[in-house]
Every structure is written in C-alpha cells, then in structure tokens.
Structure 1
C-alpha cells in the first residue's frame, strides 16, 4: 500500500500506511455490569449553516448517528457539551434535539439522558438565583416531558452570579426537590469551559468537593449519579468513595477512563464520555468483556485508545469536538466535515492529521480507503500534496 503523507507539528511530513483490518460491525445489548453513555455530537447542515447565523442541524444525519450508538449497546447522552451546547447550539435547537432524540430512543429501545442547563438566559448580565432556577426548571420540565432523564449541567450564569456556596445549595436543592426522576449532577471543569472556573463557590477544589458532596448527601434519593469531568483521576476516586450508597459515579475523565471504569476491586465508575462518540465500537467490545468478567481483555481493548483520547482532548480542551466530528466524517458516518458555528476550523491541520492516524491504527474506520480518500481531500484544501 502506497500510504499517505501527513503533516507534523514541526512542519514536516510523515508517511502513514492505512490500516487494512478495521473492526468488523458489532451489534450488542446494553452492558450489565456498567452503564456506558456516549456524549454524542450533532451533524450540522453544511448548506443552511453557511447562510443562517442560528445553528441548523441535519436531523436525519444526527439521529442516524445515535441509532448507530444504540445498536452497539451504548446509551446516548444528548445535548451535552459534545453537541456544542454553549458553542453554537442554543436552547431552542437543543430543545428540539432532546425531543427528537427522546422519540428516537423510544422507537428503538435505546437508553438516553439529556443535558439540562440555563443557556436560554442572556449572557453578559447578572441573573438572580431565582431566575437561574427558573431557567433550569424550564429545561428540566421539557426534558422530563419528552420522557428522558436529566443531566443537570454546570451553569455559566450561576458561576457568574453566585455569591458563594449557599447560592449553589439553594439552586440545586430546589431542582432536586422538584425533579420527577433521579438526575445526574454534572461537574464540568474549566478545562472544558473556562467560564466555569470556581464552580460550587470555591476556586479551591478541595473546598468545592465538600459543597458538591453536601448537595448529593442532602437529597441522595433524587441523584442517580454524578458526572465528574475534571481530568483528575485521584479526585474522582475520592468523590466516588464518598458518595451515598446507590449513587453512581459517571466518569467524564477522557484521560483516565480505562482505570476508572475498571475500578479498584471495590468501587468502579460508570461512563458518560465524549470520547465514546468516536470510540463506540471499542467501548462496546470493552463492555462485553466486563460482562464476561474478563478485566484483562477490557484493559487490552481500552488502554490503547487513551493516546487518541488525550490527543483529541489536548489543550485547549474545549475544542475536542472538532476532532470528534472529523473522525465521524472520515468513518463515513456523515457526508461532510462542517460544524455549527464554524468550529471545524478550531484545530490545526497537524492536529487533525494525527487524529486520523491514531484512529486508523485502532481500526475505527469501517472503510479505510474512504477515510484515506477523505483525508487526502482535506489535505489538498490546505495545499498539502499527500
């Protein structure tokens, strides 16, 4: 095989010979020993998006990707930051995304949870705790009316307004009291969104953990689990150890997920991960290994994926979505490499080339020839002869 020349960060070119043995298709039932959710991206409409400032979604392409995730036994985490909440996807479009995806989940028997936030509030101005609670309530009511369980996402409005931990306690306490079903509390670190620095009323993470756990312990029957996205495995293990019985810890750590899901022999994390969007075929196989009690095989499957995950989520981490969508396009899961708000331009060409190479080595492209051809086309746009 001739191979393809890929640009490196040092300005040179390197030869990559595409994989000739991709992973075969897999259909699987949901895992029994862990809950695996993939936080999935949206497929933009490349034509409408070019003439309309509001996000325009290719609904069929978006739902087709979710069906593919469900077919492999994974759950879908909808309308999360992977779907560009706060980065191009506004609340009206997110509300429609939740409704359509929840309907689709019912039709195929797929598991789904959906992000609930406060992004309908105008940015750049203060909002009272009551107004922030009301915004959360609107999104929570919509999500539950659609038949989906909620993930209470971190609020930019709350961190900008809160006078201290007491405001977080007030807002989250009220939401937990009125939720119809147990929810997931999501702690998204500032590496994913710089506007969330100081969440729970403290810059100091040790102090923030205490507030976070206090909220959970005051209403554990209303908390299905917590999703920890801090890229700090030791801190997640500490939080996991201190959760009330029956409350899950969903890892959102796209750097250390194999060890956190594998657990320490006593406790283990479930998963709600953006990296499981491109890794769904491998994550599904790893889930089967866990169900079969084969922890060695589980690590053999997931450990080699960490290099790709760390590359996609490298700083600035908030732009990881660009690599996720690139891989979906190269894999043939969508017809274009276009993103809402033009975010497909957020990463450099060498970064994208390495993402392609790492994913190809893992066998993630069903048709390696198609992936190579599309990568060559992208290189040509940048003036690189491959």
Structure 2
C-alpha cells in the first residue's frame, strides 16, 4: 500500500513502503571497535513542564537504552542527543545519569555520561566558577559508577580569555578525575554557542590546544570524541593522539570510512546517528570483526544519506528526526519531545526521514511505521 509524502516544493508524491522487515545479524560481543550510541530521551506527553524540571517518560527512556545494549552498543548518556541544553536541564540530566547507570549495572551494559556546566543558569563571571560547575557534575557521574564524558561548555566558551583558560580548567579536572574520561569537542554546527572553543576560531590553533590538554594527561584520557563533520581533520588529529588514547568519531556525515580506518589507524564511535541505526550499526561492526571491510561498508554506507538528512542544517535540530524514527519503529508510543522540540523540523523533512529510514530497513514493523506516518501527515492535513 502506498503513502503520499509532501516535498519541500509544496508538492506531494507517492511512495511505496517495503512490505517486509530487514533482519540484521550480529555476533556479540562487538570486538574490533568500541561503539557508543548517544541516546535520546522520551518525553512524558501527559505532564506539563510545571510538574517536574524535565518531563521525562522514564520507563520508555530506560527501555530504549536496554534496546541499545541488547545490540551490543554502549550508551553515551546525557549528551546533546538527550537534549542537554535544549529541553533537558541539569536536574533532569542528573536523574537520567543515576537511573541509566543503575540500569547499565543490572544488564552489564557499557555506559559513559556527559559532564557539563549547564546548571549555571546565569552567566559565569570567571573560569573558576565554570570549573566548580564541572566538578559538581563529575562527582555525580562518578558516584553513579559511570565513565565521564567531559563535554564542551557554553559557559567556558563565554568566559575564557584564551587557550590558557582551557588548559587550566581541563587540566584541573583531569588531575582529579577518578578514572580516564572521554574529552568531547563539539563543533558550532551542533551548538553555535561553542564557536571559538579551545580559545580560537582558527581550527588549526584550537586543535593544538586540544592536543596539548591530551598530551599533558594521557593516563586520564580514555579517548577523544570529535564532532566537527570534517573527516580529514579528524584523521589528522587521531594520528597525533598519544599511544592508547582512542579517537571516537562523532562525525555523522563520514562515519563509515572513519570507523573502517586506513593503514595508520581507525576511529571508534560515539554517534547520535547510532540511536536509530543500532541494529545496522551492530551488524556492520560485527561484520568488520571478521575482517570483512567490504561487508561492513555494504551495510553502513547506505545509511549515510539518511544521516546527512537528519543532521542537515541547522544541525542542532537533528534530535527531532531521531525521535521521529524511534516512534515510527515502535520504541515509544508518541512523537512528543522534551521542550516541544518535535516542532523543530518541517513536515517535508520528517517525511523524507521516514522514506530514507524505510529504504534501509530500519523499521521492525514497516506497516506500523507507515500507519504512524499517515497519522502524523493527517494532523498536518495531508491525505496520505
């Protein structure tokens, strides 16, 4: 049965969804790469923002994390995919970290949690205030028994006078961290407030400061996550990392070639796109585990068009498409987001996301996905 999908031109066209699901086979555990999915949060549509600091549907949120762990992926918790700074405040993030960390222990799942400074609801006056905010969140993550991801800080970007402030703040945090952390460099395409991070708008200069932080504390850095959507820059950076420090790609445009790697190394993964792609991603890495690079690319390359669509400008709204696909795939029973972010993308954008996801076989029940898409279209007045 066909479905009528709107296009950016204002016209519609007919699409015929697949009739049968695609089965992806994975041999667990995954061995050749460490793979994290940055996971989204599921809102509670029956409560208002006045009821709680962040209106999260906890049962569905934790169930989705169990889905990721079941496919052999790690969970990168309370990151930008979970709407940190875009609907999920620190109170909600702290609760998410505690609950997800406990769930990870119960199922033996890998987890790393975001440490930031978003409890600073008024602008910080000094780098010391930013450092103290980082310390508060680091303590919460370590108390929960999870690995920490030191995320980029809007507050630090606003108050830092140059590279030395970054070196001092990060150096202090790494010296006191109980276990090796993941350092996260999130580019301004994901968050415009992070422009000039590491003390310079010149990415070459910023890279030198970033590498200086890592080189000064290699025993406290498990790895670095690079989210600049620049494959060449990531490859150049990973070749300069100290021995034993991993590079986790955060490049949602070029992840297949970066994870496959070259004769000088490869990237592991910490990706928002692996939230909807979990079954495909797991099967692809499992194939790579056998040494079959061509099979790996054969599974993962067809997903890039979908990822580039979801992460198209303005990139920070990619979460909307991620949650749409979770709903269409049956992982949650509504398409409502924390902070009302379901309205951040146009209907033609969402329709295209549905089509591309169906083409690569992401929906366990294609008929359910088509039915839910028709319902969403009907809300907008489209007779599908």
Same fold flag (TM > 0.5): yes
Distance 1:189 1:41 in 2: 19
Give aligned pairs, total: 384
Distance 1:174 1:246 in 2: 21
Distance 1:28 1:40 in 2: 22
Q: Higher mean Cα deviation, 43-52 or 256-265?
A: 43-52
Give the aligned partner of residue 54 of structure 2. 55
Give the aligned partner of residue 297 of structure 1. 295
Q: How does 1:58-69 map to 2 (within 5 A)?
A: 58-69=57-68
Which of 347, 350, 374 is the equivalent residue of 1:349? 347
1:40 aligns with 2:39: yes
Give the aligned partner of residue 371 of structure 2. 373
Following superposition, the deviation at residue 129 of structure 1 comes to 1.3
1:229 aligns with 2:218: no
Aligned 8 A contact 2:239 2:264 in 1: no
Give the aligned partner of residue 166 of structure 1. 164
Aligned 8 A contact 1:27 1:71 in 2: no
Distance 1:201 1:217 in 2: 17
Aligned 8 A contact 1:83 1:89 in 2: yes
Give the aligned partner of residue 264 of structure 2. 266
Give the aligned partner of residue 141 of structure 1. 139
Aligned 8 A contact 2:26 2:286 in 1: no
Q: How does 1:82-231 map to 2 (within 5 A)?
A: 82-123=81-122, 125-231=123-229
Distance 1:46 1:28 in 2: 37
Give the aligned partner of residue 251 of structure 2. 253
Following superposition, the deviation at residue 41 of structure 1 comes to 0.0
Distance 2:27 2:345 in 1: 34
TM-score (normalizing by structure 2): 0.98
3-state DSSP of counterpart to 1:22: coil
3-state DSSP of counterpart to 1:228: strand
Instruction: Decide whether aligned partners of structure 1 residues 156 and 68 sit closer, same or farther in structure 2, where only a CA change above 3 A counts.
Output: same
Aligned 8 A contact 2:320 2:342 in 1: yes
Aligned 8 A contact 2:363 2:369 in 1: yes
Deviation by residue 1:218-275 (Cα, 9 ceiling, x = unmatched): 0000000000000000000011000000000000000000000000122000000000
Distance 1:130 1:256 in 2: 37
Distance 1:143 1:34 in 2: 24
Q: Which runs of 5+ in 2 are unaligned?
A: none
Aligned 8 A contact 2:124 2:130 in 1: no
State the Cα RMSD in Å: 1.1
Following superposition, the deviation at residue 33 of structure 1 comes to 0.7
Give the aligned partner of residue 325 of structure 1. 323
Distance 1:168 1:137 in 2: 15
Aligned 8 A contact 1:329 1:335 in 2: yes
Following superposition, the deviation at residue 128 of structure 1 comes to 1.2
Which of 239, 247, 252 is the equivalent residue of 1:241? 239
Instruction: Decide whether aligned partners of structure 1 residues 172 and 51 sit closer, same or farther in structure 2, where only a CA change above 3 A counts.
Output: closer
Q: Kindly report structure 1 stretches of 4+ aligned residues shifted beyond 4 Å.
A: 25-28, 50-53
Aligned 8 A contact 1:78 1:114 in 2: yes
Q: Which runs of 5+ in 1 are unaligned?
A: none
Aligned 8 A contact 2:65 2:75 in 1: yes
